[in-house]
Amino acid sequence: MRKILMAASAFLCLAFQPVVASAGDIVARINISQQTMTVSQDGVVTHRWKVSTARKGYVTPVGSYSAKWASRHHRSRKYDNAPMPYAIFFKGGYAVHATFDLKRLGQPASHGCIRLHPDNAAQFFAMANRNGLRNTQIVITR
């Protein structure tokens, strides 16, 4: 009898657990030739922004990546402690992050990262963290 009560209790606990709603997948599509980033949530385009990707002599990796980790006030260890605010890292040291070099948005200017206007980077950072980094994809094409 005790086993039956335990099994019934476990079943009821599982059956009536609250359902946590997923905020949905985020996909950031970076087009290197157009120097743009289009953000979609659940397949619906929510934002389209100018970016800067790798300048001559550097490479922005092409491919599809999951966001790995986030850093609100990151600084580059490789490039003279350069600020990389609102960084969402997707492959090693490569990240989508804010830049203060606003005049070069829309043209290649970085060492390989994807640079955004600070307001846009803050918005993307918040979306990715709110929805979960594992639910955030970064797709980079030429």
Tell me: the pLDDT tens digits for 53-68?
999 999 999 999 999 9
Q: Token digits for 90? A: 């997707």
The SS3 assignment for 24 reads: coil
CB 46 within 8 A of CB 109: no
Give residue-wise pLDDT tens across range 87-110: 999 999 999 999 999 999 999 999
For residues 32 and 38, the answer to whether their CB atoms sit within 8 Å is no
Mean pLDDT of the chain: 89
* Domain 23-141: top CATH class: mainly beta
Domain boundaries, the chain: 23-141
